[in-house]
Amino acid sequence: MSASYPSPARRTALIPALLAAVALLVGVALIDGGGFTVIRYIVSIFALIVAVFAWQAKHWWWLVPLVPIAILWNPVFPIELGLPDVWLGLQYGAALVFIAAGILIKAVTAEN
């Protein structure tokens, strides 16, 4: 007799979201430096990855904060906000969005 579980397997967005949050917190120290471009790449890519998780989980409302994060941190077409204090606040706000999204987004995977 095989064991059956009441819920199907789930993939969470926790790992990419936590990696993005760590990159954002490291980026706080690099806002004025050249290393911030690397942080922008990391955050933008992980925002799109977590957005795909949200889409697969049918949590479309998470696209509202994740797509603007991907656009603002996009290093290919950078948006310069001018003041480091604005970026500082956005870094912490985006980290909170990633942590919340990582905890709450769970995509159900197909069973074999």
Residues 6 or more apart in contact with residue 37 via CB below 8 angstroms: 75
* Domain that residue 60 falls in: 10-108
Does the residue 5 lie in any domain? no
Does the residue 29 lie in any domain? yes
Does the residue 20 lie in any domain? yes
Does the residue 4 lie in any domain? no
Does the residue 1 lie in any domain? no
- pTM, two decimals, is 0.83
- Given a contact cutoff of 8 angstroms between Cβ atoms, the answer to whether 88 and 37 are in contact is no
pLDDT tens, 33-83? 788 889 999 999 999 999 999 998 999 999 999 999 999 999 888 877 777
Confidence of residue 100 (pLDDT cuts 50, 70, 90): very high
Q: How many domains does the chain have?
A: 1
Kind plus residue range of the DSSP H or E element containing 11: strand 10-12
| Tokens describing residue 57 | 């989980």
